[in-house]
């Protein structure tokens, strides 16, 4: 399905709001046409009569159209913008719901700046699709029919002449500007994405850029992308200016043409002279509806390019599919890995090769091995970030695929080396593990992770903002906060991936003594190299080249 057609399907829940906005837009412009026509008639009539009673109907009409135009304009703007915000909210929610199942497996191939551009800038572009590309053409069609009918009643050729210029301005000119702006619109979307991705990379790595003296190189790259964006925007502005200029020209020519055709009708007695001024003013007023159509075609081209990028993102097949009938979670949580082989992509080598490993309920197993041995891959498969094709992973004897991914993640708590912390308070970051946790539960978890004393020493305590990804905290503090979050989740399966890597020896020993109590009765999988954590586990499994090399006691 084409991008524009898919966008229209997404707007289907708002079709009645859109219809209301079209009618209000038609009413507003129609009131403008009526006001111009009635004003011209009133002025002409006033010059030809001496009795006010003859002008009463025209005066009432002018007042009616003037008041209607103001009221309808306000209501139209209110409804249009309200609907726009509702649509934008719907689109953002739809996009998040679409990309959430793709994370992290399908999103790793995108740069963070490019993802940000798709989610923010491309989505903002789609906002204009409704307000600039949907409503104006529909309203213009209604206004064209009414204006041409008004003049056509007086004389058929007047209606034909107006229709010609309205079609020239509202159809031919937008097609021309749309064709001219198609390529630069796509280029603008692509260049903007590259620029935003580059800026995010540079901001995130600015310390290293300064340290290695590469500011000139990155500044030059940013300047080059900025200039490319300016060039393509200038081309689009040129097309937009051409369309606007020609629209004004055609408006003037339509008014002159209608006047030229009307003069012989008056002098020949086929039409009363009081209607002569009405003709060009009605024609000119009708162009208020079709002049925005050139921009509508350009917005359509930009929206199409933005939509293609969004659909490209969400059309990727999900890395994990839930079963049609999910199995209920078991009462015991033993893990069994049997002849498991896995590769991240079909063109990449195997990361795991016929790996087999059993972890009994409540047992603690340590995985050790060199970098690239497959330790982190096992974790990714256990929490169903990726799916496996060859071999088996069983939870309490049942295939892991039989459970919903969300259900599996509810019973697994993971502490990794790079746990993400949000730019919020310490309390809010901890409640990510348990949204309804009260202060007593949060404090107990932090005491067990040996970070409560540090938090209470801060001026705002648990209400302290910790910055983007917890950058206002040290590495050890972030790690202990991550441990506290896992403790607060209280899941029956615990996975520790170098959980004490950033802690000093004294703190590490204290944390591990506390975790030893917490791990009792939980199925625990640990990736570590340090002795303090190994002493609290039952078995050590050594991996090498994606398979089990040896198994021994702690």
Mean pLDDT of the 266-276 span: 82
- 169-191: per-residue pLDDT in tens? 888 888 888 788 778 887 888 88
What would the pLDDT profile of 301-312 be if each residue is shown by its tens digit?
778 878 888 888
Does the model's pTM come out above 0.85? no
pLDDT value of position 469: 80
Mean pLDDT for the stretch of residues 99-109: 77
The answer, yes or no, to whether residue 441 has pLDDT greater than 90, is yes
pLDDT for 74 equals: 93
**CB pairs under 8 A, 24+ apart, for 350-353?**
350/546, 351/377, 351/546, 352/377, 352/378, 352/391, 352/546, 352/547, 353/545, 353/546, 353/547
Confidence check: pLDDT of 554 > 60: no
> Burial code of 18-38, b = ≥16 C-beta within 10 A, e = fewer?
bebbbbbbbbbbbbbbbbbbb
pLDDT at 430: 93
475 vs 246, residue with greater confidence: 246
Residue 511 has pLDDT above 80, yes or no: no
Residue pair 376/365 in contact by the 8 Å Cβ criterion: no
Q: What is the mean pLDDT of residues 41-50?
A: 79
pLDDT, mean over the chain: 84
- Residue ranges of domains in the chain, CATH in brackets: 7-314 (1.20.1560.10), 335-553 (3.40.50.300)
The pLDDT tens digits for 200-219 are 788 878 878 887 788 888 88
Nearest in space to 554 (alpha carbons), one of 519, 530, 521:
530
Determine the pLDDT at residue 463.
93
Per-residue pLDDT tens over the stretch 402-438: 999 889 989 999 888 777 888 899 999 999 888 899 9
Q: Compute the average pLDDT of residues 231-238.
A: 88
Question: pLDDT, tens digit, for every residue of 55-80?
Answer: 788 888 889 989 998 999 999 989 98
Which letter, b or e, does each residue of 463-489 get, where b requires 16 or more Cβ atoms within 10 Å of its Cβ? Answer: ebebeeebeebeebbbbbbbbbbbbbb
DSSP 330: -
């Amino acid at each position: 399905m084409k991008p524009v057609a898919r966008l229209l399907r997404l707007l289907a829940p708002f079709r009645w709001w859109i219809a209301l906005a079209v009618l209000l837009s038609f009413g507003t412009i129609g009131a403008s046409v009526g006001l111009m026509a009635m004003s011209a008639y009133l002025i002409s009539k006033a010059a030809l009569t001496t009795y006010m009673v003859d002008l009463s109907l025209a005066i009432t009409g002018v007042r009616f159209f003037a008041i209607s135009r103001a009221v309808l304009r306000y209501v139209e703007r209110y409804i249009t913008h309200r609907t726009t915000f509702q649509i934008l909210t719907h689109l953002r929610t739809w996009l998040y719901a679409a990309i959430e199942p793709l994370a992290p497996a399908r999103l790793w191939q995108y740069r963070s700046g490019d993802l940000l551009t798709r989610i923010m800038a491309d989505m903002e572009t789609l906002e204009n699709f409704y307000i600039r590309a949907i409503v104006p053409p529909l309203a213009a069609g209604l206004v064209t029919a009414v204006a041409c009918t008004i003049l056509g009643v007086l004389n058929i050729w007047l209606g034909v002449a107006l229709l010609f210029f309205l079609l020239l301005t509202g159809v031919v000119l937008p097609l021309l500007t749309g064709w001219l702006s198609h390529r630069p619109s796509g280029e603008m979307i692509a260049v903007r994405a590259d620029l935003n991705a580059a800026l995010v990379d540079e901001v995130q790595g600015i310390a290293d850029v300064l340290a290695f003296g590469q500011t000139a190189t990155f500044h030059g790259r940013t300047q080059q992308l900025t200039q490319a964006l300016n060039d393509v925007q200038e081309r689009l502005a040129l097309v937009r200016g051409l369309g606007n200029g020609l629209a004004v020209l055609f408006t003037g020519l339509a008014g002159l043409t209608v006047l030229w055709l009307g003069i012989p009708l008056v002098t020949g007695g086929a039409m009363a002279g009081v209607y002569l001024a009405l003709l060009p003013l009605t024609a000119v007023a009708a162009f208020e509806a079709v002049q925005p159509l050139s921009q509508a075609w350009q917005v359509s081209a930009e929206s199409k390019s933005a939509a293609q990028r969004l659909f490209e993102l969400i059309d990727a097949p999900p890395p994990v599919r839930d079963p049609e009938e999910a199995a209920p979670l078991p009462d015991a949580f033993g893990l069994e890995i049997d002849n498991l082989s896995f590769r991240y992509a079909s063109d990449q080598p195997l990361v795991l090769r016929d790996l087999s490993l059993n972890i009994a309920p409540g047992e603690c197993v340590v995985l050790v091995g060199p970098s690239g041995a497959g330790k982190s891959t096992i974790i990714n498969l256990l929490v169903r970030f990726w799916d496996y094709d060859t071999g088996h992973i069983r939870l309490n004897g049942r295939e892991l695929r039989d459970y919903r991914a969300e259900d599996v993640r509810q019973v697994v708590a993971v502490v990794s080396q790079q746990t993400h912390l949000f730019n919020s308070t310490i309390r809010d970051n901890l409640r990510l593990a348990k949204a309804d946790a009260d202060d007593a539960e949060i404090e107990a978890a932090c005491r067990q992770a040996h970070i409560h004393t540090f938090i209470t020493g801060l001026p705002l305590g648990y209400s302290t903002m910790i910055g983007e990804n917890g950058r206002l905290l040290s590495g050890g503090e972030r790690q202990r906060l991550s441990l506290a979050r896992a403790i607060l989740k209280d899941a029956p399966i615990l996975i520790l991936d170098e959980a004490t890597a950033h802690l000093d020896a004294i703190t590490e020993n204290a944390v591990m003594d506390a975790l030893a109590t917490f791990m009792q009765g939980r199925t625990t999988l640990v990736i570590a190299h340090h002795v303090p954590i190994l002493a609290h586990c039952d078995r050590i499994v050594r991996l090498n080249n994606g398979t089990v090399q040896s198994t021994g006691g702690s």
